[in-house]
Structure 1
Amino acid sequence: MTSDHLWSDAQLLWDFQLMGHEPRPCSVAIGLGSHDLGVADATAGLYLRGLAPVVLFTGATSRTTRDRMPRGEAEHYRERALELGVPGDAVLVEPRARNTGENIRFSRELLTARGISVSSVLLVSKPYEERRAYATARRLWPDVEVVSASAPMTLAEYVDSIGDARLVLDMLVGAVQRLMVYPARGFMIELEIPGPVAAAFERLREQGFTRRLVLA
């Protein structure tokens, strides 16, 4: 496979993950923890646009964040949001979640404990995990409307911002695989995967972009 073909397949996976939702006012903006501080930037931006009265950051640490975010993903996100002008009393922190399912469940529990009524959620993730986050939330929090959001970036811009093309492609492949295998495990709703996307996934997997795959 040539480099052009590889990036063409990566672009297919990238475009598929973007839900195309138009951000609108919601009960809360939830930023899903990860290695990417851009999620905190996007969440803060939505708050500063007046699209949510409260922000919740969720995430502990993982193998990709324990060194760069030693205080936990949610806490580092909170610090970033404060730097960007979000007031501290508008930010909640959920510091325990270690996967997307826990992000949703623990966030729901925290909001309930704080007495915050939620009918709609701005769910902010990395661009290539919009669809996975949406499918997980629809399974675990079916009574709220979910609006997927992320930083508006192209694939090339995102790779440049992360500085590790291999990591991004591994993550892209892993995100699509989870859409294939997690519905049967009850982790998310099932979403249709178009044939060209499935074929691109298989080609990238055959090229060795497998570090973020889960056991099927």
Structure 2
Amino acid sequence: MLHDRLASGLARVRIPDSATMIEDEATNSGANITLSRQLLLQAGIRPKSVMLIAMPFMERRAFATCRAQWPEVDVICSSQPISFADYLASCADPRHVLCDMVGDLQRIIEYPKHGYMIEQVVPGEVHAALKRLIVAGYDSVLPKS
């Protein structure tokens, strides 16, 4: 499904199949970056910069992960230009999106301790909001301890 959507998007902007490489083995963001890097290196491609396309709420985590896993490249993150309200309205399950966001924020806080991401400043009020959301039950996508 994701591959089909990606192919459709590439066709819309007229990027030929011969100019694309798809990494489809990863099971998490860190592995996706590491395996994409290996794929490019095997093809003799050594980029100075990379652009990560992510869901709007995942840009910060994607950036932090890439900076830790591939520190020698400049990283640019992008997503669909859409308001939060419009993004939620476009999703089949807005509650799941909120759970994803809670999980992403928890990863941004915890994963630098394991070397999976670079550390980022998370303000105290954001920590407090995270706790309130977890208590309210938006906890189905939290990382495993």
Fold agreement, TM-score > 0.5: yes
Match 2:49 to one of 120, 126, 139: 120
Q: Which runs of 4+ in 1 moved over 2 A?
A: 75-79
C-alpha displacement of 1:88: 1.4
Q: Distance in 1 between matches of 2:84 and 2:30?
A: 25
State the Cα deviation string for residues 97-121 of structure 1 (Å, max 9, x = none). Answer: 1100011000000011111120001
Aligned partners of 1:130, 1:140: CA distance in 2, in Å? 15
Aligned mate of 1:98, from 13, 22, 27 = 27
Matched, 1:135 2:56: no
Matches within 5 A, 1:19-168: 69=1, 73=2, 75-84=3-12, 85-168=14-97
1:189 aligned to 2:118? yes
Report the alpha carbon displacement of residue 76 of structure 1 after superposing the two structures with TM.
2.2
Provide the secondary structure at the position in 2 that maps to 1:189: coil
Residue segments in structure 1 that go unaligned for 5+ positions in a row: 1-68
Q: Which residue of 2 aligns with 1:214?
A: 143
Distance 2:54 2:99 in 1: 17
| RMSD of Structure 2 on Structure 1 (CA) | 1.2
Partner Cα distance (1:148, 1:82) in 2: 17
Which structure carries more helix by proportion? 2
* Deviation of 1:79 (Å): 2.3
Unaligned runs of 5+ in 2: none
Provide Cα deviations, 1:71-101, integer angstroms capped at 9, x if missing partner.
Answer: xx3x224322244132212211111011000
User: What's the secondary structure of 1:92's corresponding residue?
Assistant: coil
TM-score scaled by length of structure 1: 0.64
Amino acid at match of 1:185: H
Query: Bigger relative contact order, structure 1 or 2, given CA contacts below 8 A and separation 6+?
Result: 1
CA distance in 2, matches of 1:110, 1:161: 33
Q: TM-score with structure 2 length normalisation?
A: 0.93
Q: Matches of 2:80 and 2:21 in 1, distance apart?
A: 20
